[in-house]
């Protein structure tokens, strides 16, 4: 029973970080989590250490645990290295995947597809993250998998608005993402390494554009912010 509760805490914290229910840099209260889940401090600390090792949280000396932050440096590094790591993972996945992993990928894609039809943003974030995690597992590379895992955390957090489309263009982009996943599965099944790598860059470009919209949204008009007269009204009165 204790193991089940402990696993629930681990999965809940991961989900809350990926879906931005827990903000970057948010403090994690060990005492309140212990009370809420009916666990002693020791298993909670075990979970914290596990999540820290996977890149989800940061444990600071004498200051407790916090959700891993996002700042200018981390974002810059993310955009610099993400396509290189995704491409290397994709190439190795073609070379090393197992039939059971391809089956897992297909099942994950069906859950992602259904969530996209339902406009279930939380499920889309989690299933999309799982889809790309499976690629890492397929790569069977102990050096690249931790890097992929860290990238996917920020990929989910930066791009979470992609799964809450506010207009027709964003809905179209979401459908393209679903189609890309289908194409990944087809290319893997055909052992087509070049096709997978080409898809990596197409998929990355789609993600990058959406993440840029989240990071740098279109600005509000200044008069809307301060409640002052609009430029047009000022021109009419002059």
DSSP string across 212-230: HHHHSPPPPPHHHHHT---
118: tokens are 């339902």
pTM across the whole model: 0.83
Q: What mean pLDDT, rounded, does the chain reach? A: 88
The per-residue DSSP string of 126-151 comes to HHHHHHHHHHHHHHT-TTHHHHHHHH
Distance between CA atoms of 110 and 33, rounded to whole angstroms? 33
53-108: pLDDT as tens digits: 999 999 988 788 999 998 888 888 988 999 999 999 999 999 999 999 999 999 99
Rounded to the nearest 10°, the torsion over CA 16, 46, 153, 183 is -100
Give the per-residue pLDDT at 135. 97
Tell the residue number behind the tokens 């263009």, with chain if given. Answer: 169
Residue extents of the structural domains in the chain: 2-67, 72-215
Q: Which of the pair, 19 or 167, is modelled with greater confidence?
A: 19
Which of the residue ranges 60-74, 167-181, 214-228 would you say has the lowest mean pLDDT?
Answer: 214-228
Most confident of the following: 35-44, 70-79, 221-230: 35-44
52 in Cβ contact with 17 (< 8 Å): no
The CATH homologous superfamily of the domain defined by 72-215 = GntR ligand-binding domain-like (1.20.120.530)
190-199: pLDDT as tens digits: 999 999 999 9
Please check the confidence at residue 3 and state whether its pLDDT lies above 70: no
Residues 6 or more apart whose CB falls under 8 angstroms from that of 149 comprise 54, 55, 133, 136
Give the per-residue pLDDT at 91. 97
Fold annotation for 2-67: Arc Repressor Mutant, subunit A (1.10.10)
96 in Cβ contact with 115 (< 8 Å): no
Give the per-residue pLDDT at 72. 84
Which of the residue ranges 37-46, 71-80, 112-121, 145-154 would you say has the lowest mean pLDDT?
Answer: 71-80
Distance between CA atoms of 201 and 187, rounded to whole angstroms? 14
For 27, phi then psi, to 5°, come to -75, 145
Give the per-residue pLDDT at 63. 83
> If you count them, how many residues does the chain have?
238
E strand or H helix at 27: strand 27-28
Please check the confidence at residue 212 and state whether its pLDDT lies above 80: no
Calculate mean pLDDT across residues 166-180: 88
The per-residue DSSP string of 164-217 comes to S--SHHHHHHHHHHHHHHHHHHHHHHTT-HHHHHHHHHHHHHHHHHHHHHHHSP
Give the per-residue pLDDT at 235. 47
Please check the confidence at residue 154 and state whether its pLDDT lies above 50: yes
């Amino acid at each position: 029973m204790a193991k089940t509760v402990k696993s629930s805490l681990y999965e809940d914290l991961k989900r809350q970080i990926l879906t931005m229910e827990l903000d970057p840099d948010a403090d994690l209260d060990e005492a309140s989590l212990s009370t809420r889940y009916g666990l002693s401090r020791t298993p909670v600390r075990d979970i914290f250490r596990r999540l820290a090792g996977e890149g989800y949280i940061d444990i600071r000396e004498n200051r407790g645990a916090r959700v891993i932050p996002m700042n200018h440096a981390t974002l810059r590094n993310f955009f610099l290295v993400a396509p290189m790591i995704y491409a290397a993972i994709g190439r190795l996945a073609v070379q090393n995947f197992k039939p059971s992993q391809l089956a897992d990928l297909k099942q994950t894609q069906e859950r992602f597809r259904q969530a996209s039809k339902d406009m279930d943003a939380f499920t889309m974030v989690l299933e999309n993250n799982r889809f790309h995690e499976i690629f890492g597992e397929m790569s069977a590379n102990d050096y690249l998998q931790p890097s992929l895992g860290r990238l996917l955390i920020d990929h989910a957090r930066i791009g979470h608005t992609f799964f809450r489309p506010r207009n027709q263009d964003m809905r179209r982009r979401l459908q393209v993402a679903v189609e890309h996943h289908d194409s990944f599965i087809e290319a893997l099944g055909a052992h087509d390494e070049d096709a997978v790598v080409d898809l990596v860059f197409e998929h990355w470009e789609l993600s990058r554009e959406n993440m840029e919209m989240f990071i740098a949204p279109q600005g509000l008009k200044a008069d809307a912010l301060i409640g002052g007269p609009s430029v047009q009204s000022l021109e009419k009165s002059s």
